[in-house]
Structure 1
Amino acid sequence: MSSDAAPAARPVVTGIGVLSACGHGLDPLVTAVGYGKAGFSTVSRFDVARRRVRRAALLPDPPPLAEALLTVLGDACRQADPSGAGSGTNLGTTPLLLALHSDLRTAGVAARVGAGAAEQWGLPGVTRVYTGACVAAGTAVADAAALVRAGRHPRVLVAAGHLVEPGVFAAFDAGRALARDGELRPFSSGRSGMLLGDAAVAVLVEAESAAEARGAQVLARLAGWGRSGDAHHVCRPVPDGGGMARAAEAALARAGVDAAEVGYVNANGTGSPLADRAEAAALRRVFGDRTDTLPVSSTKAVHGHALEASALLELVVTIGALRRGLLPVNAGYLGPDPDCRLDLVLDGPREAAPRYALSLNSAFGGANTALLVAA
């Protein structure tokens, strides 16, 4: 039986732009996570004298969020353009998917980004805003990859941003979600929570055939993506890791990749006692006994938790690590937790060239995303 349906396009990443506490661009970020050089310092951007925790990973002199997002969008567009001008990617009808924290400023930031994108690259504006907590950017990437794979668009821009500000910082501090000792220690004994971080990130996702036709360099392939909701608790993950495991399994199934082919996991790893334990359980559900020898780390221990921007920040970190052949260090580690039996990358970067890597994220409300990257 024959079919006239066109074969599915293969979504790839051809452009990356990133600002983080580690610097401007992907190289300083990959170096920092590769060697476990945490970017946390005492917050001076606003008054934290009355806070229990006073540290975060911050850009030294951050521009307004909309300006930061337009900067990284420009970086991604220029990298994706073989001429280096940022205009040869024919962006006029390209959708722009934007992940932001939901507050009274969200609409204004999206409008300014849309206006700037229209002026600079002729885009029709922001197509959709994602505010789904810490999986917002992962959901946007999954949608972008699906649009490209289905042939609905040859390319899609995805951007995400979060700058640490007093209100959100105070809320997490009051909720006792921040690490009391000022260090984010994923999967470690003695861990006590997360620390926040700045990030603005953009990627251009496009069909591999379109990239080849333009002579653009393919940085990585988005082989698979998965999403799930465990509906267990408003802020606690299901203890057996079932929700995150389903997202990871969906990503592998979509890619047609066996779990044994995955050579690195950039874990969600927030440093929360309950969340890290559930994630370790999820990894064991997906990878079985191979979990004992599967390299895992959480790069949040270096760049902090960027909330809605986290999944995109960690995706580009994963791409950079695969391209450099150095797996990031799980920084802040004090010692083993018997409930988190993982092959953590410790002490220094691990040289490796895995074919596939998995980047995981989860959010309050039981939402989970998994992005499978092919080198």
Structure 2
Amino acid sequence: MTATALRNGPPRRAVLVGGIGVRSAFGAGLAALTDGVLAGRPAFTRVERFGTSAQRTDRAATGPGSPRLADQLVAVLAEAGALSGSADPEVPYRNEELLIALHGDRRAGPVAAEVAERTGLRPRVYTGACVAAATAVADAAALIASGRRERVLVAAGYLVEPDTFAVFDAGRALSGDGAVRPFSLGRQGMLLGDAAVAVVLESEPALRRRGGRALARIAGWARTGDAYHVCRPHPDGTGLARAVHGALARAGAEPAAVGYVNANGAGSKLGDLAEAAALRAVFPAGTPPVSSTKSVHGHALEASALLELAVTVGVLRAGSLPVNAGWQAPDPGCPLDLVLDRPRPAAPAPALALTLNAAFGGADTALLVAAE
């Protein structure tokens, strides 16, 4: 056993997913998101909520109209069961802490404050770019696994809006052909997408007391930072590989136990190469099935990791692995076992699934999910 495994062994208490609420371009609820992802039809359409005539692309994965983020967050918290009272009078659900990932601009504070006022929750805001929500999940899982909390609420939200759309377009990060093509030859970049997600994480005793049913288990988690470059990943994917090894060590699992990887896969030329290198380093004998669901629901920035955790839980429960949409031709630098053409049956339990995220500055996260 490695020194890392000794230091970072299995959690003392199981961390269970007791509820999920979702709003995405596929509609309301986890079922709508799961069905949309497994259908493999990208949700990218022409942006209607603001003008895009000055940009290179006019596509994003947006829901109808111009919803308010605070409204969406309150709705998903209610849907996840985060606002309902405990069945145990000794454990009232009032004034709970909410770990919430939001885009790090001037709007984050007012959104968090409104959610707090309307729900009675105490928000702790995470703004660490595209790993913000995964960092919040890791913190929540650590609190439960160590016995310091019985239940922790995690939420995240981003709605496509003109400021970030223009910034990513100006940086030529958005795909010019209106599609996201992870790990494919000819990929041109990412496209943004709406997401508001809430997840209730609980200990087994807390879930049992309220008569709930676990949707999944967070078996392992890890985060790393290689600080290689302000916006480029390390070409060898070393930081992401260390995050995966850390999550496996925390779960007490070997790489062979992983039956699916929901990759970060944003469709960028350098990012996908680095991630493929990381996966090949972790799985030298051949990767498990891989796809990036950003290819259908888009990139929700700080909310991406929580949306993709919800997707991973949904597809494991459905027993089917989603396709890597948009793929055109193999890239020799990305020799992965990609799920193409149609969904694949998921391996029977207790196979584990990895959901990976990466952010500017060399930040990487890995969450390891087990079906329940």
Shorter-chain TM range is over 0.9
**Residue 105 of structure 1: aligned partner:** 107
Partner of 2:335: 341
Further displaced range: 21-30 or 349-358: 349-358
CA contact (8 A) 2:237 2:277 kept: yes
**Residue 42 of structure 1 aligns to which amino acid in structure 2?**
R
Matched, 1:59 2:57: no
- 1:82 is matched with which residue? none
Match of 1:222 in 2: 218
Q: Which residue of the partner structure matches residue 196 of structure 1?
A: 192
Within the candidate set 320, 323, 328, 2:322 is matched to 328
Match of 2:51 in 1: 47
Equivalent residue for 1:3? none
Query: 1:62 Cα deviation (Å)?
Result: 4.0
Q: CA deviation at 1:180?
A: 1.0
SS of the aligned residue for 2:239 comes to helix
Report the AA paired with residue 42 of structure 2: A
Contact 2:286–2:337 (CA<8 Å) still a contact in 1? no
SS of equivalent to 2:224: strand
Amino acid at match of 2:312: T
* Matches of 1:115 and 1:353, distance apart in 2: 44
1-side partners of 2:311 and 2:345: how far apart? 15
Q: Is the 8 A contact 1:94 1:153 kept in 2?
A: no
Measure how far apart 1:93 and its partner are: 4.6
How big is each residue's C-alpha offset from its partner over 1:63-105, in whole Å with a ceiling of 9 and x where there is no partner?
2101100000000017xxxxxx932363225321000001111
* Alignment partner, residue 8 of structure 2: none
Q: Which runs of 5+ in 2 are unaligned?
A: 1-10
- The one of 9, 12, 19 aligned to 2:16: 12
Q: Which whole-Å CA distance do the structure 2 matches of 1:289 and 1:93 have between them?
A: 49
Please give the per-residue CA displacement for 1:95-138, whole angstroms capped at 9, x wherever unaligned: 210000011111100100111111xxxx3x21x10000000000
Amino acid at match of 1:86: S
Q: Work out the CA distance in 2 between the residues paired with 1:326 and 1:62.
A: 33
User: 1:290 corresponds to which residue?
Assistant: 286
Counterpart-to-counterpart distance in 2, 1:168 and 1:232 = 24
Distance in 1 (CA, whole Å) between partners of 2:366 and 2:330 is 25
Deviation, structure 1 residue 32: 1.4
Opposite residue 301 of structure 1, the aligned amino acid is S
Instruction: Give the Cα separation in 1 of the matches to 2:222 and 2:241.
Output: 10
Aligned to 2:28: 24
Q: Conserved in 2, the CA contact under 8 Å of 1:9 and 1:209? A: no
Out of 132, 138, 147, the residue aligned to residue 134 of structure 2 is 138
Aligned equivalents of 1:247, 1:93: Cα separation in 2: 33
1:100 is matched by which residue type in structure 2? L
Are 2:14 and 2:203, in contact at CA under 8 Å, matched by a contact in 1? yes
- Render the CA deviation track for 1:286-345: whole Å, top value 9, x for unaligned: 111122xx1000000000000000000000100000000010110001010000011111
Residues 49, 66 of structure 2: 8 Å contact kept: no
Residue aligning to 1:36: 40
Which of residues 84, 87, 96 in structure 2 aligns to 1:86?
84
* Displacement of 1:209: 2.2
- The answer to whether the aligner puts 1:280 opposite 2:276 as a matched pair is yes
Structure 1 length as normaliser, TM-score? 0.93
In the alignment, the residues of structure 1 paired with residue 56 and residue 41 of structure 2 have an alpha-carbon distance, to the nearest angstrom, of: 24
Comparing 36-45 and 91-100, the one that deviates more: 91-100
Q: Which runs of 4+ in 1 moved over 2 A?
A: 85-90
Within 2, Cα distance between the matches of 1:92 and 1:152?
17
Alpha-carbon offset, residue 214 of structure 1: 2.3
Residue 35 of structure 1 aligns with an amino acid whose one-letter code is A
- Counterpart of 1:95 in structure 2 is 97
CA deviation after TM superposition for structure 1 residue 31, in Å: 1.1
Work out the number of aligned pairs and report it. Answer: 355
Aligned partners of 1:219, 1:137: CA distance in 2, in Å? Answer: 19
TM-superposed deviation, 1:353: 3.3
Structure 2 Cα separation of the partners of residues 36 and 254 of structure 1:
32
**How much does 1:38 deviate?**
0.5
Q: How does 1:221-300 map to 2 (within 5 A)?
A: 221-291=217-287, 294-300=288-294
What SS does the corresponding residue of 1:290 show, helix, strand or coil? coil
Secondary structure of 2:369's aligned partner: strand
Q: Is there any run of 5+ residues in structure 1 with no aligned partner, and where? A: 1-6, 79-84
- Is contact 2:286–2:336 with CA below 8 Å preserved after alignment? no
* Equivalent-residue separation in structure 1 for 2:309 and 2:242 (angstroms): 19
TM-score by length of 2: 0.93
Query: Which of residues 300, 304, 321 is equivalent to 1:310?
Result: 304
Report the AA paired with residue 237 of structure 1: P
Secondary structure of 2:285 counterpart = helix
Q: Residues 322 and 353 of structure 1 are in contact (CA less than 8 Å); yes or no, is this contact kept in structure 2?
A: no
Q: Is residue 182 from structure 1 mapped to residue 178 from structure 2 by the alignment? A: yes
SS in 2 for 1:238: coil
Match of 2:5 in 1: none
